[in-house]
Structures are given as C-alpha cells and as structure tokens.
Structure 1
Amino acid sequence: MNIQQNQVIESVANALQYISYYHSSDFIQAMTNAYEKETHKTAKNAIAQILINSKMAAIGQRPLCQDTGIVNVFVEVGMGVTWDAEMSLEEMINEGVKQAFTNADNPLRASIVADPLFSRTNTKDNTPAVIHMKIVKGNKLDFIVAAKGCGSENKAKFTVLQPDDNVADWIMKMIPTMGAGWCPPGVIGIGVGGTAEKAMLMAKESLMQPIDIQDIVQKSNPSNIEKLRLELMEKINNLGIGAQGLGGLTTVLDVKIKDYPAHAASQAVAMIPNCAATRHLHFSIDGSGVAKLPEVDINMYPELEIDYSQYRQIDLNSLTKSAMNDWKVGDTLLLTGTIITGRDAAHSRLKKMLDNGEGLPKGVDFNNKFIYYVGPVDAVGDEVIGPAGPTTATRMDKFTDMMLENTGILGMIGKAERGEATVQSIKKHKASYLIAVGGAAYLISKSIKKAKKIAFEEMGMEAIYEFEVKNMPVTVAVDSQGENIHQILIGSISPY
C-alpha cells in the first residue's frame, strides 16, 4: 500500500496530543505500587499529587506537565514502502508536530528556540523535532513519538570509561549529582558501547521501552544485563533521594540498559533520566489509514485524594518575613493570595533593566510577594490558565541575590534543589524557598483563580504573570534559617 502524506501528519499530531495528557498504564501501575509501599509522608504526598494530576489530565485532556517537551521521533521505514506524498518524511513529521502544538482545543507549550547560540527565538510551534530514521525490511512505518521535558533532559550524563572500569560505579556516582531537577520517580536509561553518539542514542531509545522491572524480578535465570538492571534499581532506591528529592523509598521505577559492540580500547557510557511526566507512544502506519491509538481505561487510576488536613493555611497578602521564621523544612503549606511569575529569560531581562537603572517594568511589583518559576500552558475555554507546574529553580540561582536585594520578594517557588550560595543568600535575607510538585501541573493550575500577563508578553512562555491563587500546595525546601531539605536528603550523598 501507498503511505499517504496526511496519514503521517495526522498520526504524529494525534500521538503528541495523546501523550500530552495520557500516561501509559505501565507507568501508572508502577507509580501506584510506589505509592502503596511508601512510608515517608512528604514523598507519599508528592506521589499522590502526581497520580491525581495524571487522572485529572486524562479526564480533562490537558497536559500532564506545562513543559510539553522537545519532540523526539524514532521511525523505522520499511524498504517496501511506497509514497503518495509531496513532502519529505521529515517535513511530514514536523507538520504533525506543528498541528499538535497549535491545536486550538489543547494547545501545547511551544518551547523550542531557533538560533540557540544567539537570538534564541521561539519557533512558536515547537518545531523542529529531533528525528531518527532507520531503513528496515517490510512495507510499513513503525513510529515511536516522544515528548521529552527539559528538566530531565538537562540531567543527561556521558563519559568514556576504561574497558575494565565498572559501569555501575560510575552510574552510582552520577545519580546524586542529578539532584531532583529531573522530577523523580522516573526511569533511568543507559547506553553502553559503540561511540559517543551511539551510546547517547541507545540511552534515549531505552527510555521508550515499557516499565518491566517487576517481571525481571520474577525471572529464575536473568541475563547479565537484567542482573545489572536489578542491582542498579536497588542501589539507586537505597540512596533515599525519593520522590521530588524529598526522601522515601522510590527514586526510580525502572532502569533500562541497551548495549552495542565497542572498540576494544573504549567503553562509552551514557545515562538519561525520564521524569514523572514520561511520554512516549508506539504506533505503525501501513497505508490503510491514520494510526489507531490505544484506548485508555480511567479505572486504572487509584482512588486518591490529597489530605489537606496536614497542610498549613498561608495568607500571602498579609505574610511577613517574621511570620516565615516559624516555617521549617518539610512543612506543607497551602498558599492563598498574589504571586508573580518569572523564568530564565524574564530574570535576564530584569537584570538588564536594573543594571541600566531603568527599574522594574511598569506594573510589576514584587514587594512582599513570592516569585513562581513557571512557564504555563495557554488557557482554553473557561480556564484561567493552562497547566502551570514549576520549572527547575536551580537555573535561577545566579539571579537570586539580585532579586532578594532589589525587588523586595519574600521568597521563591519552584522545583528541585538550590546551590549552596543561593541557600546562604536566602538565609541572609530571611527569605524562603518553597517547592511545588513537578509533574502536577494540571492539578496546580486549578488553584490559580486569576491570571494576567503584566510584562514581557512578547516573550511567550517567558512572560511575567500575576496569579491569584487559592490553596496552592507547596513544601518548604529552604527555610529562613538556611536549612535545606535537599541538602539534608541528597547533599549528604554528594554535595552540589
């Protein structure tokens, strides 16, 4: 059969929409198992939020995470395929990406910037995708379409070991250095052998496989690679990093390993994590029509509710620095009041304005407020805002002194750890750093009751918003005395 151009475009677009709001059943089962066995209260709460968020996203058909990712496509092209198309296969795939990310019913956040060395201009439709093609026997197309969030992608690691070096030792050395910015619990993908680029590609490909470590545990005669997977799974989880870096029993849900023959003098090793918003889908196109995607059983989700009785109500509009002195790391809070947002590019632009003596943009008042590190998805229908989960706060460390000294902010809200210099700055200014759960973006968005852009509107997701929130769930990660929850839980393993 001929493969028609529209079949590829529509299939790719449909797949990207699908994975934006549906977790795979193997992930939900693994997370449910992690929730049921978790004994650490704060980590259990984080896992609950991820599962509740997943069910809400599935029902509402809105993104699981505000970072809807850089699109990765693996496609095997049968040698017998014939075409009814004017576009190249790469052009078809990118047209599918464009249609998915600009879908009026469920617009996805455009995060891709062109001219990455200089202007870093947003392409507005999340193109181009990163595409890997392979020619194989057969007369069909086999696709894996994935959306990879940058919080996990930024934690990719690579090295070339000596042939007799221990791969497991290197991996265990690297895991703590990733901190919590990759939003665990998730999956670790490892590629060993080949060349540098082959090892990285295998690590990424391994993340596209189902979570099946529970089946390996039951095998009476596992292979050497399966034994290594089990060893690493146990060792990583025994580190106690846990959900969102908050401690607990589960840091990884599975460890995947792919290998390839290598030069006798080399052992290339790559490691890439996949976050709690793991998104990938496999499908085929044989010319008979647009790919049919799996049906989702909403009953696969556990019945969970957040226990708000353990949270402390905080009125942001009357909050003072002295009141924050009572907060301790690990405290769970429900925030109500006004917060201001800002991400990387907004901070950079604010710095230029302050350095030039221009002051803050008109209408932007940070005084006695928290800044939330977020780039939300655009709203649809009657939504106030789209999914609006936290971005990795570590990237804003270099701006923290500037913000605390020049804007009057009380503190910051994000995800993952802060560097030691930033923690000391927070302590000096008697501020606080709070974390929201990465992977709970749709759930968090429901606590945002009003939203308006107040500066840098032309910067898309980097614009500054003013949010009115009610009962936004957060955890104290760095208190005004400089106690740091991530340093306590991860820093004792490997300081960062």
Structure 2
Amino acid sequence: MNIIREDDLINSIAEAFQYISYYHPPDFIRAMAAAWEVEENPGAKAAMAQILVNSRMCALGRRPICQDTGTANVAIEIGAEARIDSTRPLQDIVDDAVRKAYKLDTNPLRASVVRDPFDSRKNSGDNTPAMLTVDMVAGDKIKVHVSAKGGGSENKSRFTVLNPSASVADWVVSEVEKMGAGWCPPGILGIGIGGGADKAMKMAKMSLNDDIDLPEIRRRGPQNRTEELRIEIADRVNALGIGAQGLGGITTVLDVKIHSYPTHAASLPVGLIPNCAATRHTHFVLDGSGPATFTPPDLSDWPEILLDQASAHAKKLDLDDLNQDVLDSLKPGDTLLVSGTLYTGRDAAHKRMTDMLNRGEELPVDLKGKAIYYVGPVDAVGDEVIGPAGPTTSTRMDKFTDQILAQTGLKVMIGKAERGAVGLEAIAKHKAAYLIAVGGAAYLVSKAIKEAAPIAFQDLGMEAIYKLRVEDMPVTVAVDTQGNSIHKTGPAAWRREYVKA
C-alpha cells in the first residue's frame, strides 16, 4: 500500500494552481495558434493575437493569464490500495492547498469565492472552499486533476434532459448560439451525456481536462459515434460565425469533448460547460515518493506575433476629451488605442452607486464625460502598477446602465462580450458608447495601465472603484451611439451554411 503524506498532497495541489495560473496547456496554445493562422476576419484574428501574446507574456513573467483566476476545481481519484497519511477531512486538506496557492505573495491569485451565495455574498478572502469531487478507483496511487474555472464561462453552463430520440447536436448548437460571447471564445465545449443530472454535469466538467485531439481525429477519420458527434458539433458551432470574442469569424470552438455514461431508458441527460480562452488545467499522480513536479512548457509552442502589426490601423481615443462628435464618429468594429483617465467599477460598485443615487446622495467619483472599465484586477506585485486586469462580462451591468448614464453623465463603458437589449437601449438613448477589451489578455491589458489608485468603496476589495491612467490600451468598438452592435453584425456576416462532410 502506498502512503501519501498530507504535506505532499497540499504542496502538489498548491503548486499546480500556481502553475496553471500562468501556463496555458501546450495543446491549447498549438490549437489557438493554428486557428489564428487561418482566421479570415481581421478583428477576430487580432483578438486571438492578443490572447497568444498575453499567454506568452504570462509564461515568461509567471503572472496570471486572466484576472479571474477562477474557482479552484479539484477532482481526486484515490486508488483502493493508497492511503493519505492524515486524519483530517479531505476538503480541509484541499482547502489548505488552495489557500496556500491563492495567497502566495510572489504571485497572488484573485479570491473570487463568496461564502454565502444568496445573502451577504461575503468574499472568503482566500478562494476557499475548493470545488472538490472524489472517486475511489483501482490501484495504489492518487491521481489529481486541477483546474481553475472563470465565472464568465461557468455562467454559460447548461443542462437538459432530452427525449431519447432527440439530437444532442441540435440542442448543443442551439444553446451555444444563445450563449453570446461572455464565455470568451475561442474555447472548448465539454459535454456529458447520460447518467443523471449530477453525473452529466460532472462528466461535462471533467471532459474539459482532456487533451485537445480533434485535429488528429479529423486527419485519421472518426472511429466511433462519439468522435463523429464531436466533429459534427464543432463544425456546426463554427458555422454559426460567432468567432473570437463574438466579433465574427471562422473559429468559435477549438475542440468538443464528450464523456458518456449509461442512463435510464426514458432519459437522455445532457450537460454542457464551455471553457474559455483562459483554459487552465493540469493533472498529476502521487505514489508516496514525494510531491509532484511540474515542467514548464517549451516556449517554442507560442508563435511569434508582432502586435504592432495587428494594431497598425487602430485609431487613438483620448478618454479625457469624450465630446459627442468624437463618440458619434465611432463605428462597431473600429479598433482603438485609448489613453487618459479610466475608472473601474463592476457589479458591487454599480449596485452601491445606484443605491446612493436612489437616496439622493452624492457619489464619491465624478463620472461626467468619463469612461468606466468593468474589471476586478489581481493584486499587484513588485513594481507593478496593477496586476492582470482583463474585462468582466458586461451584461451583468445592463440593469444599472440607464440610471448610471442618466444621472452621472458617463459616456463610455469598457468590458467584454455583448450587451443585452436593456443595455443597448440605454446606450442608444444616452448617445454613449461601449467598447470591449479582449477576455483572456489580462496581463497584456495591465501593461497599458500606468497609474492606479483606489478612490472609493475600498471595502469591496477587487470590486472597489479605482482611478486609472492608461496609455494605448487596445479595445474594439462594440456598440456605437446609435445602439448598433458588432456582436450582432459580426456573427451575421460570418455565418455560413453547415455542410456535412
């Protein structure tokens, strides 16, 4: 019987979370690079270029790929002949590992977990508890799968129970079409088919830890119904034209993973979970000989990309001179380099600001004629001005938008993905503009931030309002002052008919 020391398990899990915070899986980088090479839409190609450059920067600088360093997902397979040398609950052991990883002073990871999901929503401060699943399997070793799952993609999870005669592909394609871009494509779809509701969702989540192998399956040809289904779903989703960041393009998914399990004769449960452009996972095995070791990937897997070429046609926008003529000149799809004053503010800050406005109180920041960035950054280290600071999903701010625009005079919002009908209506009504930064390029974006200081609501932690000074921050016009959205026109232009091979 192999005996695994508690400290070896803790140290291995902690090191794994640090490792995946700054290293994309090499297979993901190769797949993204291949998609970048063939992408035909310049806007989508530029977005993928930012993702790849950001990934390489993070690998070199050992800083988080995305500001949303995710919930800590840990799946442990314990061999029947293995034993952990501990008397503590496994959840406590794993939480100690997560706490150690997320609080590391040389690379702190953002704590996003709130302890009470429906009341106070107070942040745990260390990203615990972990989302732990445990299976007993044959063997004398312990296998651990570790992944960090961001909220943007997790929020797009879907589940259904189809009739046994229904088409899984039809349902998946329909759901992806409705998801929008909040899950930050291009990415991977994880699908669980069979079992029950819990089993299907668990299989969907676990499938996202599989290596990307769809290109190889295409080369040799599918050998079973599962592989045929994976290809069909991938081809049909890509034919939707959603593209990178929802801008329109030929690649929306890099792979489709499917796990299946026996189920009730009257049921066809299906779970669907997407993984974003900040896909982060690894696995290791402990046999009692010591903690796991992690080998850095080969930097030759990253393509050499000159972002200067991608932004050669970008327009300059002065955030300190947002007059109406300037705003009216912006068109969906325009690439911009913005400079000047930029305030941060996301869910909690918007809720507090609207509550203050409803009470007739003066806000602690003057947003008239200014721009706000929907972001919750990672803490800075060393001589950094700010940690990785990529955008969060903007639709969550839609319900606040009309009141904020009307009562503060705010003119520009920067976030990621599409705006909903309520947000679009408010933007057009107040002749404002909505810009997007690339989700999955948080470290790259942070380099454009030259000054950062919290100025309000500091008790909200990463959701406090900061005053930033940015220089040449890369963004794309998503919604113009008339309410026209690139997330509608882009995919429509790149949508194509699916033709089964």
Instruction: State if a TM-score over 0.5 links the two structures.
Output: yes
Secondary structure in structure 1 of the residue aligned to 2:17: helix
1:350 lines up with 2:359 in the alignment: no
Query: Match of 2:251?
Result: 250
Cα distance between partner residues in 1 of 2:387 and 2:150: 17
Q: Which amino acid aligns with 1:231?
A: E
Query: Match of 1:18?
Result: 19
Q: Which amino acid aligns with 1:449?
A: K
Aligned identity (percent) is: 55
Secondary structure in structure 1 of the residue aligned to 2:380: coil
Q: Map of 1:258-277 to 2, 5 A cutoff?
A: 258-277=259-278
For residue 363 of structure 2, the aligned residue among 346, 360, 367 is 360
Cα distance between partner residues in 2 of 1:294 and 1:88: 30
Cα distance between partner residues in 2 of 1:14 and 1:365: 43
Q: Map of 1:302-313 to 2, 5 A cutoff?
A: 302-306=303-307, 307=309, 308-313=311-316
Cα distance between partner residues in 2 of 1:311 and 1:220: 42
Q: Which amino acid aligns with 2:65?
A: L
Secondary structure in structure 2 of the residue aligned to 1:49: helix
Contact kept? 1:5, 1:87, Cα under 8 Å: no
Secondary structure in structure 2 of the residue aligned to 1:317: coil
Identify which range, 76-85 or 443-452, moves more after superposition: 76-85
Contact kept? 2:41, 2:248, Cα under 8 Å: yes
Closer/same/farther in 2, CA of residues 461 and 103 from structure 1, 3 Å limit:
same
Query: Match of 1:461?
Result: 462
Q: Map of 1:106-145 to 2, 5 A cutoff?
A: 106-145=107-146
Identify which range, 163-172 or 435-444, moves more after superposition: 163-172
Query: Match of 1:217?
Result: 218
Contact kept? 1:53, 1:441, Cα under 8 Å: yes
TM-score, normalization by structure 1: 0.97
Query: Match of 1:193?
Result: 194
Cα deviation code 1:221-242 (max 9, x no counterpart):
5210100101111111111100
Deviation at 1:483, TM superposition (A): 1.0
Contact kept? 1:379, 1:386, Cα under 8 Å: yes
1:79 lines up with 2:80 in the alignment: yes
Query: Match of 2:206?
Result: 205
Cα distance between partner residues in 1 of 2:18 and 2:160: 35
Query: Match of 2:498?
Result: none
Secondary structure in structure 1 of the residue aligned to 2:312: helix
Cα deviation code 1:177-212 (max 9, x no counterpart):
110000000000111111111111111111110110
Query: Match of 1:316?
Result: 319
Query: Match of 1:338?
Result: 341
Cα distance between partner residues in 2 of 1:309 and 1:78: 55
Contact kept? 2:330, 2:480, Cα under 8 Å: yes
Q: Which amino acid aligns with 1:275?
A: C
Q: Which amino acid aligns with 1:330?
A: G
Secondary structure in structure 2 of the residue aligned to 1:122: coil
Cα deviation code 1:421-446 (max 9, x no counterpart):
21121111110000000000000000
Deviation at 1:491, TM superposition (A): 7.1
Contact kept? 1:176, 1:490, Cα under 8 Å: no
Q: How many residues align?
A: 491
Deviation at 1:139, TM superposition (A): 1.5
Cα distance between partner residues in 2 of 1:170 and 1:384: 45
Deviation at 1:490, TM superposition (A): 4.5
Query: Match of 1:481?
Result: 482
Contact kept? 2:194, 2:200, Cα under 8 Å: yes
Cα distance between partner residues in 2 of 1:137 and 1:254: 30
Query: Match of 2:234?
Result: 233
Deviation at 1:88, TM superposition (A): 2.5
Where has structure 1 moved over 4 Å in runs of 4 or more? 490-493
1:279 lines up with 2:300 in the alignment: no
Secondary structure in structure 2 of the residue aligned to 1:204: helix
1:64 lines up with 2:65 in the alignment: yes
Cα distance between partner residues in 2 of 1:309 and 1:221: 42
Secondary structure in structure 2 of the residue aligned to 1:191: strand
Cα deviation code 1:56-83 (max 9, x no counterpart):
0000000000000001111101111233
Cα deviation code 1:432-466 (max 9, x no counterpart):
00000000000000000000001111111111101
Cα deviation code 1:454-486 (max 9, x no counterpart):
111111111110100000000000001211111
Cα deviation code 1:131-182 (max 9, x no counterpart):
1101111121100000000100000011111111111111111111110000
Q: Which amino acid aligns with 2:289?
A: S
Deviation at 1:489, TM superposition (A): 3.2
Identify which range, 302-311 or 482-491, moves more after superposition: 482-491
Query: Match of 1:390?
Result: 391
TM-score, normalization by structure 2: 0.96
Q: CA RMSD in A?
A: 1.1
Q: Which amino acid aligns with 2:135?
A: K
